Structure 1
Amino acid sequence: MTNNENVTGDGNTAGHGSAVGGEKGTLVIGGRGKTGRRVVERLRRQGRPVRVGSRAGEPAFDWDEPAGWAAALAGTDRVYVTFQPDLSVPGAPDLIGALAEAAVAAGARRLVLLSGRGEEAARLCEERLKVPGAEWTVVRASWFNQNFDESLFVDSVRAGELALPVADAVEPFVDADDIADVVVAALTGDGHAGRTYELTGPRLLGLDEVAAELSKATGREIAYVPVSAGDYRGVLRENGLPEELVELFTVILDGRNAHLADGVRQVLGREPKDFADYARAAAASGAWDV
């Protein structure tokens, strides 16, 4: 998905916290990703048993090794599903469907999928999640605020220049903490089965406005510099990033997502975090210190 949930890598821990009322555990696939690790933290704070699904875990979870899924699912009754590298890649719908079937067979019927807002390929994965017996919930998120301090654009912000090929795009950036709160509610609460929630922040922002907010938060100028798709492809290549990100910017940010949704309010009964509040907190944490 456009949010690169697992760009920080796979989880390298596995295990369970103390159970609440003897309940089974939750498998969090991609448990060190932007939302995954936040979901793990929240569940553990509640005293709920959690297993981090990753290639380095014990037992391991690897999307490319379906034979090992049963061991990772054993002892769990709910799963948070994030897909690496992206729901739009060929074969993703088949893997999501196979995982859903394996989960239900193992007794893990409550499934929550992190999906991408406005991504047609992701919709196919959503449909494949809905296997017989599954209590499914889909969480469609817009672009993460944390793309600016935890992954894609952190070096650009530190360098003071946000160069991207989307001059006129606006996006309702959403905070990963809000997403995690919604996911935990869907995993642990009632009334979310069969629901699809669209999550956005509280306002639309162009990248020039994003740069202005980052400038205020850091106390130094962060400039937004529109570049051509061809030039940006070269930048990605030089930095060892997939050139397919160009299509991500030119297709996903074509205006289809330029409207707000109320998923955060529906589930949590509060407003989502504003980008300015996120930027101030990230700056205070030292995320963009040079």
Structure 2
Amino acid sequence: MDNATDQPKTLVLGGTGKTGRRVVQQLTGQGIAVRVGSRSAEIPFDWLDQSTWKPVVQHVKAVYLAYQPDLAVPGAVRAISDFTQMAVENGVRQFVLLSGRGEPEAQACEQVVMQSGADWTILRSSWFCQNFSEGYLLEPIQAGYVVLPVASIGEPFIDIDDIADVAVAALTQPGHGGKIYELTGPRLLTFAEAVDEIARATGRSIHYEQVPIDNYNAMLTEFGVPKEAIDLTTYLFTEVMDGRNATLANGVEQALGRQPTDFADFVRKSIGMGMWTEKAANEGTGSIRSSEVESR
């Protein structure tokens, strides 16, 4: 999707991912010219191929910046620095960065964006509700058996429809420049409690088991998950999920003037969309923290 050649556009990186595709849908629904940033787009974009960067920012005024696979991986700060510098030199005047809570590496990337010379808004998100319905937990939930190396730490799961709403507001409305929005849901849930809510709402038996990280990594290795993904998962589950993010924030209310979506409302919405049917499970991404590829 690349409207009118010379019309200033908004570039949505990760435009086929969880948050990105929702941002694209909302912007195009408002009649805003959008360029989708992905490897499969008309003008392809790949974080690992810098030759694809400059073509994708031509005639672009604003960028929704979602980094694959995560701002915590080695090389992310350099990539964000190189990309933002190139983009500003080619006329980009605004960045909305999807970031994560409690990750020093992500905060280093935030500093790069803040110092880029462009207008900026930072969206620090907690773990996505949709990881249970569109991501790596879809198939385990469908199978009725969820295994994770997560202790009983509360997480304020965020509905990514809320993230998309905030991103679109920041990209299209005044008053969001220079803001850091901490985006969380309205209550804390452990992963076990979240799975139990899904089980009760669907009327299905879904067993949750906590396992040691070494056992979990061995399982991922057996399933053929790449080592880089396993390393990232280890970092997220052993360091980020240490209780540092077991607090609520009011970023959604600050940005949108309303309360964030509760996990129970997300569950009802997902049931209504048939997200936990056998067909949905077969079509799910099933990958660890994938979404072209942001997922938290």
Q: Normalised by the size of structure 1, how large is the TM-score?
A: 0.90
Are 1:56 and 2:40 counterparts? yes
Q: Pick from 87, 93, 106 the counterpart of residue 103 of structure 1.
A: 87
Alpha-carbon distance between aligned partners in 1 of 2:208 and 2:273, rounded to the nearest angstrom: 23
Are the counterparts in 1 of residues 142 and 277 from structure 2 also a CA contact under 8 Å?
yes
Alpha-carbon distance between aligned partners in 2 of 1:67 and 1:187, rounded to the nearest angstrom: 26
SS at match of 1:63: coil
Are the counterparts in 2 of residues 97 and 131 from structure 1 also a CA contact under 8 Å?
no
| Larger relative contact order (Cα-Cα within 8 Å, sequence gap ≥ 6) | 2
Alpha-carbon distance between aligned partners in 1 of 2:221 and 2:275, rounded to the nearest angstrom: 24
RMSD of aligned alpha carbons: 1.6
Are 1:147 and 2:131 counterparts? yes
SS at match of 1:35: helix
Q: Which residue of 1 aligns with 2:277?
A: 289
Alpha-carbon distance between aligned partners in 2 of 1:119 and 1:143, rounded to the nearest angstrom: 12
Q: Which residue of 2 aligns with 1:267?
A: 255
Are the counterparts in 2 of residues 88 and 121 from structure 1 also a CA contact under 8 Å?
yes
What is the Cα deviation at residue 23 of structure 1?
A: 5.9
The runs of at least 4 consecutive aligned structure 1 residues that moved more than 3 Å come to: none
SS at match of 1:79: strand
Q: Which residue of 2 aligns with 1:201?
A: 185
Matches within 5 A, 1:91-130: 91-130=75-114
What is the Cα deviation at residue 58 of structure 1?
A: 2.2
Q: Which residue of 1 aligns with 2:230?
A: 243
Q: Which residue of 1 aligns with 2:144?
A: 160
Number of equivalences = 274
Identity of aligned residues (%): 49
Are the counterparts in 2 of residues 138 and 195 from structure 1 also a CA contact under 8 Å?
yes
Q: Deviations over 1:109-138 (max 9, x none)?
A: 110110011111111111111234210111
Q: Pick from 245, 249, 252 the counterpart of residue 240 of structure 2.
A: 252
Are the counterparts in 2 of residues 30 and 83 from structure 1 also a CA contact under 8 Å?
yes
Counterpart of 1:98, as a letter, is D
SS at match of 2:97: strand
Alpha-carbon distance between aligned partners in 1 of 2:80 and 2:28, rounded to the nearest angstrom: 26
What is the Cα deviation at residue 65 of structure 1?
A: 2.1
Q: Pick from 25, 37, 44 the counterpart of residue 28 of structure 2.
A: 44
Counterpart of 1:54, as a letter, is S
Q: Pick from 129, 134, 146 the counterpart of residue 118 of structure 2.
A: 134
What is the Cα deviation at residue 254 of structure 1?
A: 0.5
What is the Cα deviation at residue 207 of structure 1?
A: 1.8
Q: Pick from 43, 47, 57 the counterpart of residue 73 of structure 1.
A: 57
Q: Which residue of 2 aligns with 1:190?
A: 174
Alpha-carbon distance between aligned partners in 2 of 1:238 and 1:260, rounded to the nearest angstrom: 36
SS at match of 1:38: helix
Alpha-carbon distance between aligned partners in 2 of 1:165 and 1:59, rounded to the nearest angstrom: 39
SS at match of 1:204: coil
SS at match of 1:52: strand
Which stretch shifts more, 73-82 or 85-94?
85-94
Alpha-carbon distance between aligned partners in 1 of 2:172 and 2:235, rounded to the nearest angstrom: 36
Are the counterparts in 1 of residues 252 and 259 from structure 2 also a CA contact under 8 Å?
yes
Alpha-carbon distance between aligned partners in 2 of 1:71 and 1:79, rounded to the nearest angstrom: 14
Alpha-carbon distance between aligned partners in 2 of 1:202 and 1:143, rounded to the nearest angstrom: 13
Q: Normalised by the size of structure 2, how large is the TM-score?
A: 0.89
What is the Cα deviation at residue 271 of structure 1?
A: 0.5
Are the counterparts in 1 of residues 84 and 116 from structure 2 also a CA contact under 8 Å?
no
Unmatched 5+ residue regions in structure 2?
279-296
SS at match of 2:12: strand
Are the counterparts in 2 of residues 115 and 122 from structure 1 also a CA contact under 8 Å?
yes
SS at match of 1:42: helix
Q: Deviations over 1:148-188 (max 9, x none)?
A: 11111111101112211113111000001000000001111
SS at match of 1:191: coil
Alpha-carbon distance between aligned partners in 2 of 1:58 and 1:101, rounded to the nearest angstrom: 23
Counterpart of 1:40, as a letter, is V
Alpha-carbon distance between aligned partners in 2 of 1:235 and 1:169, rounded to the nearest angstrom: 22
Counterpart of 2:132, as a letter, is F
